[in-house]
A = this chain, B = another copy of it.
């Protein structure tokens, strides 16, 4: 029996360096900044999958955050290079969840699940995920 690899590479990975101003008086990353990092990652995902965030908007939709779940396992610090990796947990009719892990080397610092709801640019109401977006995101689906 083959068994399931536990170290399968995640479909998306991005690195960024922690800025001084992103750390608080405790000397660690201020927790709100992880959500700002998630947003940076989402921008890079649109770049990789659609060409750019503007190309997403051209399909007539944008996304808003519907739900956030984060677990903090170890503190990140100034000048750390974070490797943020993960992918999407299926594509619903109008929403999808981006599951990310924040790592420093082999250490897992934070896990985040952010559910994005697609909204129509005209009326800001829930909208089905456009076919072009589904195709773009398909390679980033977690198995």
Contact = CB atoms under 8 A, between A and B. Distances in A.
Contact of A66 (B20, B62, B72, B79): B72
A9 interface: no
Nearest to A74: B64
Interface string A66-107: 111111100100110000000000000000000000000000
A33 interface: yes
Query: What is the oligomeric copy number?
Result: 4
A69 B66 contact: no
Contacts of A21: 24, 30, 32, 36, 39-40
A20 to B, nearest CB: 6
Interface string A25-37: 1110011111110
Interface in A13-54: 19-21, 23-27, 30-36, 39-40, 43, 52-54
Main secondary structure of the interface of A (DSSP, over half): mixed
Given A20-B25, A32-B35, A66-B71, 19 more contacts: A20-B30, A20-B43, A21-B24, A21-B30, A21-B36, A21-B39, A23-B25, A24-B24, A26-B62, A26-B64, A31-B39, A32-B32, A32-B33, A43-B79, A53-B79, A67-B69, A67-B71, A68-B69, A69-B70
Interface of A: 19-21, 23-27, 30-36, 39-40, 43, 52-54, 62, 64-72, 75, 78-79
